[in-house]
Structure 1
Amino acid sequence: MFDIDIRLLRLFNSIYERGTISEAAHELNIRQPAASSGLKKLRQHFDDQLFVRVGHKMQPTNTARDMLPLVVEAIEKMRIVNEFSKGFDSLNASRTFRISMTDSHYLSVVPTLISYFDKHAPSIKLDIVPIDNDTALLMSKGEVDLVIGFVPQLQERFYQQRFFDEHYVVIANSENTHILNNDLSLELYQSAEHIGILPRGTGHYLIEYEIQKLNIERNIVLRLPSHLGLGTIVQRTNLIATVPEQMGRLLQEYVGVSLYPLPFELPSWSIKQYWHEYAHHNADNQWLRQTCFNLLQS
């Protein structure tokens, strides 16, 4: 038996995720014979096939499934060791942070961060990616540094810190002829034509659930997977939409939509930043979290 090195662990993880040796070799930038040789060593070491071919894919054995959490943890800890530093010099550091957030926060969060980085961290770059069903896995692998939004499913092995509480409002065309005297009643809300927005991977479904619990019926004639372009659609039609207040105020400023309070009570939801436990002591991540908290919390 020989000692397993980090390269073999990365190979194991890549085969597990990709399902083929060729795709794993491509991801790791190694030749396929080298990947096959590495898998052979892993099989000998653990006295198990680890992956068996079923159709065109390599399916993990029970042993491989049991190993996966340990392998992911080992890879992440090695990454932390490689990146360890006593502090983070933002003025001289050159790196890219990847942050997942909903599109409803692009308009408010990103300009604030970029303005700060321009003065205090000139060589820091941002890679903004959407929140989706793979976000938790990507964070556990160190491929996403931080999540900003309302993501209640990030619980076990994640830290979180509250920024502010989000309330919901209604936006409508500033010349919407169905809303008289600037008054949006419950009756009018239910009879209006709505845009439904349900971004993937977020807690927005809880808002939909709360509205249903109140037995409030909406005539949804258009469904969108995100808030992108929402303001323009609302301003050019008589459709209305229920959105986070912060986004509503930005669309009011930039697009000219009108803002109305909801004609019923909904609970507020906390907008937070989330990070994986393996990044908790990383100096770079600590600086990013503290910066975001200082700029965004209220």
Structure 2
Amino acid sequence: MAHTLDIRLLQLFHAIYTHENISHAAASLDIGQPAASIGLSKLRKHFDNQLFVRVGHQMLPTEFAKELAPLITQTLEQVRLINDYRRAFDPAISTRTFTLGLTDISHLQLVPKLAAYLHTHAPHICLNVVPIDAATPTLMSSGQIDLAIGFIPQLEAGFYQQTLFHQHYVALVRHDHPRIAESLSLQDYERENHLEIVPSGTGHYMAENEIQRLGVTRNIRMRMPGYLGVDAVVKNTDLIATVPEKLGFLLDDAGCRIYPLPFELSGFDVKQHWHARMHKNSDNRWLRQVCFELFHQ
């Protein structure tokens, strides 16, 4: 007779599926690896399927496990909702871990301010920051990401959203650039070499497409998948980087200076996004309210 499943075995399945490693899964559940191995054996016996196959140092799911995973994730979320039903969320004593999906600009702009707030008002809450990428919508729908903040137009369909602030683009140039001084003309912009930044999983590719549609010519000499380190490149070269204005303000005078773009380029809204399953959760509502109060402009 198949072993009767309980919530701990479902949590073990979810942990192995998430970490693709039994040791890491066991650590995340605060159990020993032998106990995790015994639990996996019970899961395999119950479903009459290997569920996870060792490939190198990873435990990769079988096709059966991939089909099963969304059902188990949904079940665990329902159990959590039942446990938290009508339970008031008290940030002062909560030990909740929130997972935020953020762009690399948000790491620089938003995380320090949010960390300072949590330190004072919610000292026991843990914050897990993950990058926004192609998997973000799926992770949000499964409850593995509580909130995503950034310029993420692909999340607008099927997700709740709230605008925090508007951004424009500016040009970031080395402070002692040999050919650019008091102003940046279109002739300067088209003559100089450029650093192109298109972070994966965000909407910044739209700006690159618009520059092309405007007929503005750029000599791209370097490409980067994110904004981290862009100031170090710019201040040590003659390259121009087109960046969001708030990042430009952070980097201005740090060996770099910012200029208005010599052409009209559409701005964008930075929003916080959350899945419908999180909409009425008291803890998620608290986090959204904190982020709105801290970052709304």
- TM-superposed deviation, 1:216: 2.3
The C-alpha deviation readout for 1:212-269, integer Å capped at 9, x for no partner, is: 222323212122222112212212221110000011011115x142111112222221
8 Å contact 2:51–2:61 — kept in the other structure?
Answer: yes
- TM-superposed deviation, 1:133: 2.4
Change (3 A) 1:23 1:2: same
Question: Normalized against structure 1, the TM-score is what?
Answer: 0.82
SS of 1:237's partner is coil
Residue 132 of structure 2: aligned partner: 131
8 Å contact 2:101–2:132 — kept in the other structure?
Answer: yes
The C-alpha deviation readout for 1:16-60, integer Å capped at 9, x for no partner, is: 6678999978876544353233233234xxxxx696989996531
8 Å contact 2:165–2:296 — kept in the other structure?
Answer: yes
Residue 275 of structure 1: aligned partner: 274
RMSD: 3.1
- TM-superposed deviation, 1:7: 4.2
Residue 76 of structure 1: aligned partner: 77
1:242 paired with 2:245, answer no
Whole-angstrom distance in 2 between the partners of 1:24 and 1:111: 29
SS of 1:153's partner is helix
- TM-superposed deviation, 1:168: 0.6
8 Å contact 1:91–1:123 — kept in the other structure?
Answer: yes
1:13-32 matches, cutoff 5 A:
13=14, 30-32=35-37
Unaligned runs of 5+ in 1: 44-48
* Counterpart selection for 1:42 from 33, 47, 65: 47
**Residue type of the partner of 2:103?**
T
1:212-227 matches, cutoff 5 A:
212-227=212-227
Change (3 A) 1:158 1:2: farther
Unaligned runs of 5+ in 2: none
**Residue type of the partner of 1:40?**
K
1:60 paired with 2:59, answer no
Whole-angstrom distance in 1 between the partners of 2:104 and 2:53: 40
Identity of aligned residues (%): 43
The C-alpha deviation readout for 1:185-204, integer Å capped at 9, x for no partner, is: 22221221111112222112
Whole-angstrom distance in 2 between the partners of 1:125 and 1:148: 17
Whole-angstrom distance in 1 between the partners of 2:125 and 2:22: 35
Change (3 A) 1:280 1:117: same
Matched residue count: 289
SS of 1:179's partner is coil
8 Å contact 1:8–1:42 — kept in the other structure?
Answer: no
Whole-angstrom distance in 1 between the partners of 2:236 and 2:22: 51
Whole-angstrom distance in 1 between the partners of 2:111 and 2:38: 44
SS of 1:288's partner is helix
1:166 paired with 2:171, answer no
Whole-angstrom distance in 1 between the partners of 2:11 and 2:158: 21
**Residue type of the partner of 1:290?**
Q
Whole-angstrom distance in 2 between the partners of 1:247 and 1:102: 12
Whole-angstrom distance in 2 between the partners of 1:279 and 1:209: 34
Residue 197 of structure 2: aligned partner: 197
Whole-angstrom distance in 1 between the partners of 2:176 and 2:79: 58
- TM-superposed deviation, 1:276: 2.0
Change (3 A) 1:219 1:93: same
